[in-house]
Structure 1
Amino acid sequence: MASMTVVKRDHRGQPMLEYSGTLLHRQPNWVLLEARFALPDADKSYHHFRQGDRLLEWFYADRWYNVFELHHREDDHLQGWYCNITRPAVLQAERLYADDLALDLMVYPDGRTLLLDEDEFTALDLPPADREQAQAALAALLARVRSRAEMFAAIPA
């Protein structure tokens, strides 16, 4: 399968992180990648990220977010979804670029949600139109969770 490089950038378009994933599916406006969490283990108050955890990552050229489905490195059980509010991804043949806007949403396997980094988002120097798009993206994500749409269909009714 083909490989694709992900370039995560900050809100100013400056590169912050680069990694590779396996391209599983491609459509004109989105891609689905599989990657492994390569950073050292990170215990956050909302989730324990482990080096080697399997991630299914959806990036969209027409949506202001991406979604990472989190699977445990040892038994592959679903741990939830980490959703990044971003500008629409720039999808190229072998690379993609995603500008992170700091605001994140953790969705647990039982459907509970937790909004993260709202203070960081508020502090960003963003054009008003970008701020509005980000808020609309968050609302769209929450609606998808509530309706169990797309990847969130795995949440029990």
Structure 2
Amino acid sequence: MPRSGFYGSLSSPKVDVVIDMGNPFLNRTVDGFLKIGAVGACKVVAEETFECLNRGNVSKHKLEHALKKMCKEGAYWGTVAGVYVGLEYGVERIRGRSDWKNAMIGGALTGALFSAATNNHRDKVVKDAITGGAVATAVEFINYLT
């Protein structure tokens, strides 16, 4: 029996914005802030578009609300990413090695820092530090495999 198939690959263009702050630490931190902040803003656009389509109406008030939410989410996630990237780079410089342990330490410090800034429950801070370290380490290993 004859068979047919489709073979190919899909790739997207890579857009890289480079802002030279004159310091590698600042360059990486700003880069992380901008990239992940844009992802956070796009997430809000997708959610708000779905809501408008689901309800069937759009108003000026809803658009203003969506814009404010985009800015807030983008700034929050951009800040988290910037802090993580900066801490990971700092750990790399202190340790003198580039490996998965930098991601683990940077993720744990970021998780603890943001948790401590939003609550004062020690158990929650420790859990968030463990979660941050685990997620960052998992991402590092996945990047290594691909």
Q: TM-score, normalised by structure 2?
A: 0.31
Q: Which has the higher strand share?
A: 1
- Relative contact order (C-alpha < 8 Å, sep 6+): which is higher? 2
Greater CA radius of gyration, 1 or 2?
Answer: 2
Q: Which has the higher helix share?
A: 2
Q: TM-score, normalised by structure 1?
A: 0.30
